Amino acid sequence: MASGVKERAPLTCLQQAASRFPRAAIKSAGRVRTDTKAGAAGSDLRFKPVIPGADSSALPLGKTGGFGYSTRFPEQPLPLQTSPVTLKASIVLLPGDGIGPEITQQAKRVLETIGEIFGHEFTYQSHLIGGIAIDETGDPLPEETVQACRHSDAILLGAVGGPKWDDPSAKTRPEAGLLKIRKELGLFANLRPIKLFDQLIDASPLRREIIEGTDILFLRELTGGIYFGESSRSGSGVDETASQAMVYSVGEVERIVRLAAQAAKGRDNRLTSVDKANVLEPSRLWRQAAARVMAEEFPEVQYDVVLVDAMAMHLINRPSDFDVVVTGNMFGDILTDEASMLPGSLGMLPSASLGSDGPGLYEPIHGSAPDIAGKGIANPLATILAAAMLLRHSLNAEPEAVAIETAVGDVLAAGLRTADIARGGPSVSTEAMGDAVVNQLKQ
Protein backbone atom coordinates (compact mmCIF):
# COMPACT_ATOMS: atom_id res chain seq x y z
CA MET A 1 0.00 0.00 0.00
CA ALA A 2 1.22 3.48 -0.79
CA SER A 3 1.47 5.61 2.30
CA GLY A 4 -0.15 8.94 2.96
CA VAL A 5 -2.87 8.58 0.34
CA LYS A 6 -6.23 10.02 1.27
CA GLU A 7 -9.54 8.68 0.03
CA ARG A 8 -12.27 10.86 -1.39
CA ALA A 9 -15.03 8.36 -0.73
CA PRO A 10 -15.34 4.76 0.45
CA LEU A 11 -16.43 3.43 -2.94
CA THR A 12 -14.01 2.25 -5.61
CA CYS A 13 -12.76 4.61 -8.29
CA LEU A 14 -14.98 3.07 -10.96
CA GLN A 15 -18.00 3.13 -8.66
CA GLN A 16 -17.36 6.79 -7.91
CA ALA A 17 -17.17 7.66 -11.59
CA ALA A 18 -20.45 5.83 -12.10
CA SER A 19 -22.34 7.41 -9.22
CA ARG A 20 -20.95 10.95 -9.43
CA PHE A 21 -20.97 11.48 -13.17
CA PRO A 22 -24.01 9.91 -14.83
CA ARG A 23 -24.20 10.24 -18.59
CA ALA A 24 -26.29 13.42 -18.62
CA ALA A 25 -24.01 15.18 -16.17
CA ILE A 26 -20.82 14.20 -17.93
CA LYS A 27 -21.98 15.70 -21.22
CA SER A 28 -21.93 19.14 -19.65
CA ALA A 29 -19.21 18.55 -17.09
CA GLY A 30 -16.63 20.79 -18.76
CA ARG A 31 -14.55 22.26 -15.99
CA VAL A 32 -17.24 22.18 -13.31
CA ARG A 33 -16.41 20.34 -10.10
CA THR A 34 -19.08 18.24 -8.43
CA ASP A 35 -18.04 17.72 -4.83
CA THR A 36 -18.89 14.66 -2.76
CA LYS A 37 -18.46 13.72 0.84
CA ALA A 38 -14.91 12.69 1.55
CA GLY A 39 -14.20 9.28 3.00
CA ALA A 40 -12.29 8.50 6.14
CA ALA A 41 -9.13 10.57 6.37
CA GLY A 42 -5.98 8.60 5.85
CA SER A 43 -7.71 5.71 4.09
CA ASP A 44 -6.06 4.02 1.15
CA LEU A 45 -6.93 5.19 -2.38
CA ARG A 46 -5.28 2.34 -4.24
CA PHE A 47 -7.26 1.39 -7.34
CA LYS A 48 -9.82 -1.27 -6.46
CA PRO A 49 -12.24 -1.71 -9.35
CA VAL A 50 -15.35 -3.79 -8.86
CA ILE A 51 -14.51 -7.48 -8.96
CA PRO A 52 -16.80 -9.01 -11.58
CA GLY A 53 -19.23 -11.34 -9.91
CA ALA A 54 -18.99 -9.48 -6.61
CA ASP A 55 -20.55 -5.99 -6.61
CA SER A 56 -20.47 -5.28 -10.30
CA SER A 57 -23.92 -3.70 -10.15
CA ALA A 58 -22.30 -0.45 -9.09
CA LEU A 59 -20.16 -0.14 -12.19
CA PRO A 60 -22.15 1.50 -15.05
CA LEU A 61 -20.26 4.44 -16.47
CA GLY A 62 -21.28 7.32 -18.69
CA LYS A 63 -20.49 7.34 -22.37
CA THR A 64 -18.62 10.63 -22.31
CA GLY A 65 -16.55 9.84 -19.25
CA GLY A 66 -15.72 6.98 -16.90
CA PHE A 67 -14.23 4.27 -19.07
CA GLY A 68 -13.62 6.65 -21.97
CA TYR A 69 -12.83 10.32 -22.14
CA SER A 70 -14.94 13.32 -22.95
CA THR A 71 -14.74 15.10 -26.28
CA ARG A 72 -17.80 17.25 -25.74
CA PHE A 73 -16.42 20.55 -24.53
CA PRO A 74 -18.47 23.56 -23.41
CA GLU A 75 -18.22 26.63 -25.61
CA GLN A 76 -17.27 28.77 -22.60
CA PRO A 77 -15.49 26.54 -20.04
CA LEU A 78 -16.02 27.59 -16.46
CA PRO A 79 -12.98 28.30 -14.27
CA LEU A 80 -11.36 25.35 -12.57
CA GLN A 81 -12.23 24.93 -8.92
CA THR A 82 -9.66 23.61 -6.50
CA SER A 83 -10.20 20.26 -4.83
CA PRO A 84 -11.47 20.09 -1.24
CA VAL A 85 -9.30 17.00 -0.70
CA THR A 86 -5.53 16.88 -1.09
CA LEU A 87 -4.35 13.73 -2.81
CA LYS A 88 -0.96 12.24 -2.08
CA ALA A 89 -0.12 9.69 -4.71
CA SER A 90 2.92 7.81 -5.96
CA ILE A 91 3.15 7.51 -9.74
CA VAL A 92 5.66 5.24 -11.45
CA LEU A 93 6.90 6.40 -14.85
CA LEU A 94 8.07 3.78 -17.33
CA PRO A 95 9.39 5.87 -20.27
CA GLY A 96 10.65 2.83 -22.17
CA ASP A 97 12.09 3.08 -25.68
CA GLY A 98 12.00 5.28 -28.78
CA ILE A 99 9.77 8.31 -28.30
CA GLY A 100 8.66 7.00 -24.91
CA PRO A 101 10.84 9.34 -22.81
CA GLU A 102 9.78 12.41 -24.84
CA ILE A 103 6.04 11.85 -24.59
CA THR A 104 6.15 10.67 -20.98
CA GLN A 105 7.95 13.86 -20.00
CA GLN A 106 5.13 15.98 -21.44
CA ALA A 107 2.48 13.94 -19.63
CA LYS A 108 4.41 14.34 -16.40
CA ARG A 109 4.46 18.11 -16.88
CA VAL A 110 0.68 18.06 -17.27
CA LEU A 111 0.27 15.98 -14.11
CA GLU A 112 2.55 18.36 -12.24
CA THR A 113 0.40 21.26 -13.39
CA ILE A 114 -2.74 19.48 -12.21
CA GLY A 115 -1.06 18.97 -8.85
CA GLU A 116 -0.31 22.67 -8.60
CA ILE A 117 -3.80 23.79 -9.62
CA PHE A 118 -5.74 21.37 -7.45
CA GLY A 119 -3.34 21.29 -4.50
CA HIS A 120 -2.31 17.64 -4.81
CA GLU A 121 1.03 16.06 -3.95
CA PHE A 122 2.18 13.64 -6.63
CA THR A 123 5.56 11.94 -6.39
CA TYR A 124 7.25 10.30 -9.36
CA GLN A 125 9.73 7.47 -9.81
CA SER A 126 11.19 6.45 -13.16
CA HIS A 127 12.08 2.82 -13.82
CA LEU A 128 13.26 0.65 -16.69
CA ILE A 129 11.17 -1.47 -19.03
CA GLY A 130 11.61 -2.81 -22.54
CA GLY A 131 14.70 -2.53 -24.71
CA ILE A 132 16.54 -0.07 -22.51
CA ALA A 133 16.04 -2.46 -19.59
CA ILE A 134 17.52 -5.30 -21.65
CA ASP A 135 20.53 -3.14 -22.49
CA GLU A 136 21.15 -2.18 -18.87
CA THR A 137 20.10 -5.31 -16.98
CA GLY A 138 19.52 -8.10 -19.50
CA ASP A 139 15.87 -8.26 -18.40
CA PRO A 140 12.97 -6.42 -20.13
CA LEU A 141 11.27 -6.07 -16.74
CA PRO A 142 13.75 -5.91 -13.85
CA GLU A 143 12.50 -6.97 -10.42
CA GLU A 144 13.14 -3.44 -9.16
CA THR A 145 10.58 -2.17 -11.66
CA VAL A 146 8.04 -4.80 -10.63
CA GLN A 147 8.34 -3.93 -6.95
CA ALA A 148 8.11 -0.19 -7.60
CA CYS A 149 4.94 -0.73 -9.62
CA ARG A 150 3.39 -2.95 -6.95
CA HIS A 151 3.86 -0.23 -4.34
CA SER A 152 2.63 2.65 -6.49
CA ASP A 153 -0.82 4.14 -6.92
CA ALA A 154 -0.63 4.25 -10.71
CA ILE A 155 1.76 3.60 -13.59
CA LEU A 156 2.30 5.69 -16.72
CA LEU A 157 4.06 3.93 -19.59
CA GLY A 158 5.62 5.44 -22.72
CA ALA A 159 6.38 2.72 -25.28
CA VAL A 160 8.60 -0.33 -25.70
CA GLY A 161 10.47 -1.95 -28.56
CA GLY A 162 12.42 -1.02 -31.66
CA PRO A 163 14.46 -2.55 -34.50
CA LYS A 164 17.55 -2.68 -32.29
CA TRP A 165 15.99 -5.58 -30.37
CA ASP A 166 14.21 -7.33 -33.26
CA ASP A 167 16.64 -10.25 -33.54
CA PRO A 168 14.36 -13.33 -33.74
CA SER A 169 17.07 -15.45 -32.12
CA ALA A 170 17.35 -13.19 -29.07
CA LYS A 171 16.62 -14.77 -25.68
CA THR A 172 14.12 -12.06 -24.85
CA ARG A 173 12.45 -9.06 -26.45
CA PRO A 174 11.27 -5.69 -25.12
CA GLU A 175 7.61 -6.62 -25.53
CA ALA A 176 8.10 -9.43 -23.02
CA GLY A 177 8.41 -6.76 -20.35
CA LEU A 178 4.97 -5.40 -21.17
CA LEU A 179 3.37 -8.84 -21.14
CA LYS A 180 5.05 -9.63 -17.84
CA ILE A 181 3.99 -6.44 -16.06
CA ARG A 182 0.38 -7.12 -17.02
CA LYS A 183 0.66 -10.63 -15.63
CA GLU A 184 2.52 -9.59 -12.47
CA LEU A 185 -0.09 -6.95 -11.61
CA GLY A 186 -3.09 -9.04 -12.65
CA LEU A 187 -4.19 -6.53 -15.28
CA PHE A 188 -6.87 -8.49 -17.10
CA ALA A 189 -8.86 -5.72 -18.80
CA ASN A 190 -7.55 -3.31 -21.42
CA LEU A 191 -9.82 -0.33 -22.06
CA ARG A 192 -9.35 1.45 -25.37
CA PRO A 193 -11.78 4.25 -26.18
CA ILE A 194 -11.98 5.04 -29.88
CA LYS A 195 -13.49 8.51 -30.13
CA LEU A 196 -13.09 11.41 -32.49
CA PHE A 197 -12.29 14.93 -31.49
CA ASP A 198 -14.64 17.09 -33.53
CA GLN A 199 -11.66 19.30 -34.36
CA LEU A 200 -9.90 16.38 -36.09
CA ILE A 201 -12.73 14.63 -37.89
CA ASP A 202 -11.30 15.58 -41.29
CA ALA A 203 -8.00 13.92 -40.36
CA SER A 204 -9.66 10.51 -40.56
CA PRO A 205 -8.89 8.45 -43.67
CA LEU A 206 -12.63 7.68 -43.88
CA ARG A 207 -15.31 9.98 -45.22
CA ARG A 208 -17.05 12.19 -42.71
CA GLU A 209 -20.44 10.52 -43.27
CA ILE A 210 -18.93 7.14 -42.35
CA ILE A 211 -16.85 8.18 -39.36
CA GLU A 212 -19.09 10.80 -37.77
CA GLY A 213 -20.57 9.68 -34.47
CA THR A 214 -18.03 6.91 -33.90
CA ASP A 215 -17.64 6.24 -30.18
CA ILE A 216 -16.47 2.72 -29.40
CA LEU A 217 -15.14 1.32 -26.16
CA PHE A 218 -13.05 -1.81 -26.66
CA LEU A 219 -12.48 -4.16 -23.74
CA ARG A 220 -9.68 -6.58 -24.54
CA GLU A 221 -8.89 -9.52 -22.28
CA LEU A 222 -5.20 -9.27 -21.42
CA THR A 223 -3.96 -12.26 -19.46
CA GLY A 224 -5.17 -15.29 -21.41
CA GLY A 225 -5.26 -16.48 -24.98
CA ILE A 226 -2.51 -17.23 -27.44
CA TYR A 227 -0.07 -14.61 -26.13
CA PHE A 228 0.25 -16.58 -22.90
CA GLY A 229 -0.09 -20.09 -24.31
CA GLU A 230 2.71 -22.64 -24.25
CA SER A 231 4.94 -22.51 -27.31
CA SER A 232 7.28 -25.00 -28.89
CA ARG A 233 9.51 -25.55 -31.90
CA SER A 234 10.80 -28.83 -33.23
CA GLY A 235 12.49 -30.35 -36.23
CA SER A 236 14.79 -28.63 -38.68
CA GLY A 237 14.92 -27.43 -42.25
CA VAL A 238 11.65 -27.69 -44.16
CA ASP A 239 10.33 -30.00 -41.43
CA GLU A 240 10.78 -27.42 -38.66
CA THR A 241 7.47 -26.61 -36.98
CA ALA A 242 6.32 -24.10 -34.41
CA SER A 243 3.19 -24.00 -32.28
CA GLN A 244 1.58 -21.79 -29.66
CA ALA A 245 -1.51 -22.70 -27.67
CA MET A 246 -4.58 -20.49 -27.39
CA VAL A 247 -6.13 -21.20 -24.00
CA TYR A 248 -9.06 -19.56 -22.22
CA SER A 249 -10.93 -20.60 -19.10
CA VAL A 250 -14.61 -19.96 -18.45
CA GLY A 251 -13.66 -17.75 -15.51
CA GLU A 252 -11.42 -15.54 -17.64
CA VAL A 253 -14.18 -15.06 -20.20
CA GLU A 254 -16.89 -14.39 -17.62
CA ARG A 255 -15.04 -11.65 -15.76
CA ILE A 256 -14.20 -9.60 -18.87
CA VAL A 257 -17.71 -10.04 -20.31
CA ARG A 258 -19.27 -8.90 -17.03
CA LEU A 259 -17.07 -5.82 -17.02
CA ALA A 260 -17.98 -5.06 -20.63
CA ALA A 261 -21.70 -5.54 -19.96
CA GLN A 262 -21.56 -3.13 -17.03
CA ALA A 263 -19.83 -0.58 -19.25
CA ALA A 264 -22.53 -1.04 -21.89
CA LYS A 265 -25.26 -0.38 -19.30
CA GLY A 266 -23.75 3.03 -18.65
CA ARG A 267 -23.43 3.89 -22.34
CA ASP A 268 -25.90 2.93 -25.11
CA ASN A 269 -26.72 -0.49 -23.63
CA ARG A 270 -25.20 -2.38 -26.56
CA LEU A 271 -22.46 -5.01 -26.38
CA THR A 272 -20.76 -6.87 -29.21
CA SER A 273 -18.60 -9.92 -28.55
CA VAL A 274 -16.00 -10.77 -31.19
CA ASP A 275 -14.62 -14.28 -31.68
CA LYS A 276 -13.77 -16.91 -34.31
CA ALA A 277 -16.18 -19.60 -33.11
CA ASN A 278 -16.65 -21.04 -36.59
CA VAL A 279 -13.06 -22.32 -36.52
CA LEU A 280 -11.40 -22.14 -33.08
CA GLU A 281 -12.37 -24.23 -30.05
CA PRO A 282 -11.32 -21.53 -27.53
CA SER A 283 -13.66 -19.15 -29.36
CA ARG A 284 -16.51 -21.63 -29.04
CA LEU A 285 -15.95 -21.72 -25.29
CA TRP A 286 -15.76 -17.91 -25.28
CA ARG A 287 -19.07 -17.61 -27.14
CA GLN A 288 -20.85 -20.11 -24.89
CA ALA A 289 -19.59 -18.53 -21.65
CA ALA A 290 -20.35 -15.01 -22.86
CA ALA A 291 -23.86 -15.95 -24.00
CA ARG A 292 -24.62 -17.53 -20.64
CA VAL A 293 -23.46 -14.46 -18.69
CA MET A 294 -25.46 -12.11 -20.89
CA ALA A 295 -28.65 -14.20 -20.80
CA GLU A 296 -28.59 -14.84 -17.06
CA GLU A 297 -27.13 -11.60 -15.70
CA PHE A 298 -27.68 -8.88 -18.32
CA PRO A 299 -30.85 -9.69 -20.29
CA GLU A 300 -31.56 -5.96 -20.65
CA VAL A 301 -28.35 -5.33 -22.63
CA GLN A 302 -28.62 -5.61 -26.41
CA TYR A 303 -26.10 -8.33 -27.22
CA ASP A 304 -24.71 -9.68 -30.46
CA VAL A 305 -21.72 -11.67 -31.68
CA VAL A 306 -19.52 -10.99 -34.69
CA LEU A 307 -16.73 -13.05 -36.22
CA VAL A 308 -13.37 -11.30 -36.06
CA ASP A 309 -12.89 -11.10 -39.83
CA ALA A 310 -16.32 -9.54 -40.26
CA MET A 311 -15.58 -7.09 -37.44
CA ALA A 312 -12.42 -5.96 -39.22
CA MET A 313 -14.60 -5.09 -42.21
CA HIS A 314 -17.35 -3.41 -40.17
CA LEU A 315 -14.83 -1.08 -38.51
CA ILE A 316 -14.14 0.39 -41.93
CA ASN A 317 -17.62 0.58 -43.43
CA ARG A 318 -19.86 1.26 -40.39
CA PRO A 319 -17.84 2.03 -37.25
CA SER A 320 -20.51 4.26 -35.72
CA ASP A 321 -22.84 1.26 -35.35
CA PHE A 322 -20.86 -0.13 -32.41
CA ASP A 323 -20.88 0.85 -28.75
CA VAL A 324 -18.96 -1.55 -26.46
CA VAL A 325 -16.90 -4.36 -27.97
CA VAL A 326 -15.39 -7.19 -25.93
CA THR A 327 -12.92 -9.72 -27.29
CA GLY A 328 -9.89 -11.85 -26.53
CA ASN A 329 -6.26 -10.93 -26.32
CA MET A 330 -5.00 -11.35 -29.89
CA PHE A 331 -8.20 -10.29 -31.64
CA GLY A 332 -8.39 -7.23 -29.41
CA ASP A 333 -4.79 -6.35 -30.14
CA ILE A 334 -5.36 -6.39 -33.88
CA LEU A 335 -8.81 -4.79 -33.97
CA THR A 336 -7.92 -1.91 -31.69
CA ASP A 337 -4.85 -1.12 -33.78
CA GLU A 338 -7.10 -1.05 -36.83
CA ALA A 339 -9.69 1.09 -35.04
CA SER A 340 -7.00 3.44 -33.81
CA MET A 341 -6.63 4.82 -37.32
CA LEU A 342 -10.26 5.91 -37.47
CA PRO A 343 -9.47 9.23 -35.73
CA GLY A 344 -6.57 9.75 -38.13
CA SER A 345 -3.59 9.14 -35.88
CA LEU A 346 -2.34 6.68 -33.29
CA GLY A 347 -1.01 9.72 -31.47
CA MET A 348 -4.46 10.67 -30.14
CA LEU A 349 -5.59 7.52 -28.33
CA PRO A 350 -4.91 6.45 -24.73
CA SER A 351 -5.58 3.16 -22.99
CA ALA A 352 -5.89 1.75 -19.50
CA SER A 353 -5.05 -1.73 -18.25
CA LEU A 354 -6.89 -2.56 -15.05
CA GLY A 355 -7.09 -5.42 -12.59
CA SER A 356 -9.23 -6.35 -9.64
CA ASP A 357 -6.81 -4.69 -7.20
CA GLY A 358 -3.63 -2.64 -7.19
CA PRO A 359 -2.42 0.08 -9.57
CA GLY A 360 -3.62 0.53 -13.12
CA LEU A 361 -1.27 0.87 -16.09
CA TYR A 362 -1.86 3.76 -18.48
CA GLU A 363 -0.25 4.28 -21.88
CA PRO A 364 -0.75 5.55 -25.42
CA ILE A 365 -1.72 2.83 -27.83
CA HIS A 366 0.98 3.74 -30.34
CA GLY A 367 4.41 2.17 -30.43
CA SER A 368 7.90 3.51 -29.82
CA ALA A 369 8.25 5.11 -33.30
CA PRO A 370 12.06 4.77 -33.40
CA ASP A 371 12.18 6.53 -36.78
CA ILE A 372 11.25 9.85 -35.15
CA ALA A 373 12.78 9.30 -31.71
CA GLY A 374 14.87 12.25 -30.59
CA LYS A 375 13.54 14.57 -33.30
CA GLY A 376 11.08 16.33 -31.01
CA ILE A 377 8.12 15.84 -33.35
CA ALA A 378 6.19 13.03 -31.65
CA ASN A 379 2.58 13.66 -30.67
CA PRO A 380 2.30 13.60 -26.84
CA LEU A 381 -1.49 13.94 -26.70
CA ALA A 382 -2.28 10.23 -26.38
CA THR A 383 0.05 10.02 -23.39
CA ILE A 384 -1.42 13.19 -21.91
CA LEU A 385 -4.91 11.71 -22.32
CA ALA A 386 -3.62 8.50 -20.73
CA ALA A 387 -2.62 10.65 -17.75
CA ALA A 388 -6.23 11.85 -17.61
CA MET A 389 -7.40 8.23 -17.49
CA LEU A 390 -4.88 7.64 -14.69
CA LEU A 391 -6.42 10.44 -12.67
CA ARG A 392 -9.93 9.17 -13.30
CA HIS A 393 -9.50 5.46 -12.64
CA SER A 394 -6.64 5.18 -10.17
CA LEU A 395 -6.93 8.42 -8.20
CA ASN A 396 -10.69 8.99 -8.39
CA ALA A 397 -9.99 12.51 -9.68
CA GLU A 398 -12.73 13.04 -12.26
CA PRO A 399 -12.68 16.86 -12.43
CA GLU A 400 -8.90 16.81 -12.83
CA ALA A 401 -9.22 14.29 -15.67
CA VAL A 402 -11.89 16.37 -17.37
CA ALA A 403 -9.67 19.45 -17.01
CA ILE A 404 -6.92 17.75 -19.03
CA GLU A 405 -9.33 16.50 -21.69
CA THR A 406 -10.87 19.95 -22.00
CA ALA A 407 -7.45 21.56 -22.32
CA VAL A 408 -6.52 19.15 -25.11
CA GLY A 409 -9.73 20.00 -26.93
CA ASP A 410 -9.09 23.72 -26.49
CA VAL A 411 -5.57 23.40 -27.88
CA LEU A 412 -6.82 21.51 -30.92
CA ALA A 413 -9.60 24.05 -31.42
CA ALA A 414 -6.93 26.75 -31.45
CA GLY A 415 -5.36 25.01 -34.45
CA LEU A 416 -2.22 23.50 -32.92
CA ARG A 417 -1.12 20.26 -34.54
CA THR A 418 1.86 17.96 -34.38
CA ALA A 419 3.08 16.61 -37.70
CA ASP A 420 1.01 13.41 -37.58
CA ILE A 421 -2.30 15.33 -37.48
CA ALA A 422 -1.28 18.45 -39.41
CA ARG A 423 -2.31 17.04 -42.83
CA GLY A 424 0.59 18.89 -44.46
CA GLY A 425 -0.10 22.16 -42.68
CA PRO A 426 1.94 23.93 -39.99
CA SER A 427 3.00 21.73 -37.11
CA VAL A 428 4.47 22.18 -33.64
CA SER A 429 7.03 20.18 -31.69
CA THR A 430 6.41 17.66 -28.93
CA GLU A 431 7.46 20.19 -26.31
CA ALA A 432 5.39 22.99 -27.84
CA MET A 433 2.28 20.83 -27.72
CA GLY A 434 3.01 20.02 -24.09
CA ASP A 435 3.51 23.73 -23.40
CA ALA A 436 0.16 24.52 -24.99
CA VAL A 437 -1.75 22.03 -22.84
CA VAL A 438 0.00 23.21 -19.67
CA ASN A 439 -0.70 26.86 -20.48
CA GLN A 440 -4.33 26.11 -21.27
CA LEU A 441 -4.72 24.40 -17.89
CA LYS A 442 -3.32 27.46 -16.15
CA GLN A 443 -5.75 29.89 -17.81
- The residues spanned by each domain of the chain are 1-191+345-443, 205-233+241-342
CA distances from 49 to 99, 180, 278, 395 (A): 31, 21, 34, 11
Known binding residue 369? Answer is yes
CA distances from 44 to 150, 244, 394 (A): 14, 41, 11
The backbone torsions φ and ψ at residue 348, rounded to the nearest 5 degrees and listed phi first, read -110, -5
Q: What's the pLDDT score for residue 202?
A: 82
Known binding residue 182? Answer is yes
Q: For helices 398-413 and 381-394, give the axis angle rounded to 10 degrees.
A: 160
Q: What's the pLDDT score for residue 167?
A: 87
Say what the alpha-carbon torsion angle 58, 59, 63, 65 is, to the nearest 10 degrees: 100
What percent of the chain stands above pLDDT 90?
71
For 166-224, what is each residue's pLDDT tens digit?
A: 988 888 999 999 989 998 999 999 999 998 888 888 888 899 999 999 999 999 999 89
Known binding residue 371? Answer is yes
Say what the alpha-carbon torsion angle 397, 7, 258, 400 is, to the nearest 10 degrees: 0
Q: What's the pLDDT score for residue 196?
A: 84
Q: Which one is catalytic: 44, 48, 183, 227?
A: 227
Active site residue 6: no
In whole angstroms, what is the distance from residue 102 CA to residue 349 CA?
Answer: 16
Known binding residue 119? Answer is no
Structure-model confidence comparison of residues 17 and 302, the more confident one: 302
Active site residue 153: no
Residue 313 has pLDDT above 80, yes or no: yes
Structure-model confidence comparison of residues 150 and 82, the more confident one: 150
CA distances from 384 to 174, 364, 404 (A): 23, 8, 8
Q: For helices 329-339 and 308-317, give the axis angle rounded to 10 degrees.
A: 10
The CATH H-level superfamily of 1-191+345-443 is: Isopropylmalate Dehydrogenase (3.40.718.10)
Which of the four pLDDT bands, split at 50, 70 and 90, describes residue 46? very low
Known binding residue 172? Answer is yes
CB atoms within 10 A of CB 60: 23
Residues 6 or more apart whose Cβ sits within 8 Å of residue 395: 13, 45, 87, 89, 153, 154
In whole angstroms, what is the distance from residue 27 CA to residue 74 CA?
Answer: 9
pTM of the model: 0.78
CATH number for 205-233+241-342: choose from 3.40.1280.10, 3.30.450.40, 3.40.190.10, 3.40.718.10.
3.40.718.10
332 in Cβ contact with 218 (< 8 Å)? yes
399 in Cβ contact with 441 (< 8 Å)? no
Pairing outcome for strands 121-126 and 88-96: parallel
Known binding residue 163? Answer is yes
For 25-44, what is each residue's pLDDT tens digit?
A: 222 222 222 233 233 333 33
Q: Which one is catalytic: 44, 268, 337, 435?
A: 337
Q: Using alpha carbons only, give the angle 107, 110, 112 rounded to the nearest 5 degrees.
A: 110
Active site residue 337: yes
Known binding residue 254? Answer is no
Q: What's 6's DSSP letter?
A: P
For 382-433, what is each residue's pLDDT tens digit?
A: 999 999 999 999 999 999 999 999 999 999 999 999 999 998 889 999 999 9
**Exposed / middle / buried, residue 210 (Cβ in 10 Å: 0-12, 13-18, 19+):** middle
Whether the domain at 1-191+345-443 and the domain at 205-233+241-342 fall into the same CATH topology: yes
- Which string of b and e fits 385-414 if b means at least 16 CB within 10 Å? bbbbbbbbbbbbbbbbbbbbbbbbbbbbee
**Exposed / middle / buried, residue 52 (Cβ in 10 Å: 0-12, 13-18, 19+):** buried
Q: What's the pLDDT score for residue 84?
A: 56
Q: Which one is catalytic: 276, 323, 410, 420?
A: 276
Lowest mean pLDDT among 353-357, 369-373, 433-437: 353-357
What percent of the chain stands above pLDDT 70?
81
SS (H, E, C) 131-162: HHHHHHHCCCCCHHHHHHHHCCCEEEEEECCC
Identify the three-state secondary structure at position 305: strand
Identify the three-state secondary structure at position 403: helix
Q: Which one is catalytic: 309, 321, 357, 442?
A: 309
